[in-house]
């Protein structure tokens, strides 16, 4: 091939969207930081199965930041993601991008779901899935197809563009979801345990790919995981959440290590130990002692 797919992408996309470059948008001053202030949400209010998921959760994600939400299962990680995505609204507190309050879903915040079989539209081919958002925006079929192909190439799915989702492997499905999200040039990429269902090797490959793409585009990433090691490899900041119910953000760790990181780096291991201690405290079980 010889052509760096990322540079290639930037050029084609620049021509297509009449002057507005897609590359390095993180430096775009019109982008915003994402804030949650005192957010509470209760499910099935007033019913027997009432469940208080979040109680006064606050966090701040700077623009272009790779931010991991980490916590034991049932701690409300996905609830926070759904709130940021605008799928749900909090009972109390506000969620903002810059000074604009988030009240609904929007294409500047696109989600990559864990359950790709349901998230991708099964009756559409991979490229049609990627074109979906563009055609909603009213792009002509031809220019949507051109744009989609650029992003399919970026995620390494160009050769499988004509396949239906059920013909794709787990990793390829997530690549497809990633392309479908990125093609809309979102300010924030919301990822809900996207690689949790993949085998160990596919997972590592996808993590590397994601980092490569993020380092180029510098969109804000809010990444949910229950895997400490994954958070260590990816995130600039890791927020550890309290155990549910009535969860909130417990503590935020900064990881100022250069990419790519190795799990064996001493600095990485040092922070890892701190984060695990924080998690152990929450779960109430020691992960290493007998």
- The residues that touch other proteins, with contacts defined as CB under 8 A, are 82, 85-87, 105-107, 109-111, 113, 115, 117-124, 132-133, 136-137, 164-166, 180, 184, 190
CB 176 within 8 A of CB 130: yes
Least separation, in Å, of the C-beta of 34 and other proteins? 15
Q: What does the longest C-alpha to C-alpha distance in the chain come to?
A: 62
Torsion of CA 78, 84, 89, 91, to 10 degrees: 80
The values of phi and psi at residue 112, to 5°, are -110, 115
Least separation, in Å, of the C-beta of 42 and other proteins? 19
**Cα–Cα dist 97/108, whole Å:** 10
Least separation, in Å, of the C-beta of 130 and other proteins? 10
Nearer to other proteins, 5 or 171 (CB): 171
Nearer to other proteins, 131 or 282 (CB): 131
**Cα–Cα dist 179/158, whole Å:** 10
Least separation, in Å, of the C-beta of 57 and other proteins? 20
Nearer to other proteins, 118 or 286 (CB): 118
Nearer to other proteins, 190 or 249 (CB): 190
Distances 51 to 47, 134, 265 between C-alpha atoms, Å: 9, 38, 41
**What tokens were used for 227?**
């895997």
Least separation, in Å, of the C-beta of 76 and other proteins? 17
Nearer to other proteins, 134 or 213 (CB): 134
């Amino acid at each position: 091939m010889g052509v760096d797919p990322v540079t290639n992408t930037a050029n084609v996309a620049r021509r297509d969207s009449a002057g507005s470059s897609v590359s390095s948008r993180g430096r775009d001053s019109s982008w915003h930081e994402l804030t949650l202030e005192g957010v509470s949400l209760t499910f099935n209010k007033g019913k027997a199965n009432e469940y208080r998921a979040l109680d006064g959760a606050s966090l701040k994600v700077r623009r272009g930041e790779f931010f991991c939400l980490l916590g034991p299962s049932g701690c409300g990680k996905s609830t926070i993601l759904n709130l940021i995505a605008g799928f749900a609204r909090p009972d109390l507190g506000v969620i903002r991008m810059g000074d604009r309050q988030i009240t609904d879903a929007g294409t500047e915040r696109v989600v990559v779901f864990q359950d790709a079989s349901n998230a991708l539209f099964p009756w559409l081919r991979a490229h049609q899935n990627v074109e979906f958002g563009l055609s909603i925006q009213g792009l002509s079929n031809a220019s949507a197809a051109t744009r989609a192909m650029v992003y399919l190439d970026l995620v390494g799915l160009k050769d499988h563009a004509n396949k239906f989702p059920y013909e794709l492997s787990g990793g390829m499905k997530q690549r497809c979801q990633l392309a479908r999200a990125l093609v809309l040039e979102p300010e924030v990429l919301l990822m809900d345990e996207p690689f949790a269902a993949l085998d160990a090797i596919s997972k590592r490959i996808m993590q590397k790919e994601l980092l490569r793409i993020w380092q180029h585009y510098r969109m804000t990433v809010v990444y949910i995981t229950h895997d400490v090691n994954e958070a260590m490899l990816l995130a600039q900041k890791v927020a550890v959440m309290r155990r549910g119910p009535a969860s909130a953000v417990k503590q935020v760790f900064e990881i100022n290590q250069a990419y790519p990181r190795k799990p064996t780096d001493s600095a990485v291991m040092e922070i890892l130990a701190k984060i695990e201690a924080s998690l152990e405290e929450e779960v109430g079980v020691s992960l290493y002692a007998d």
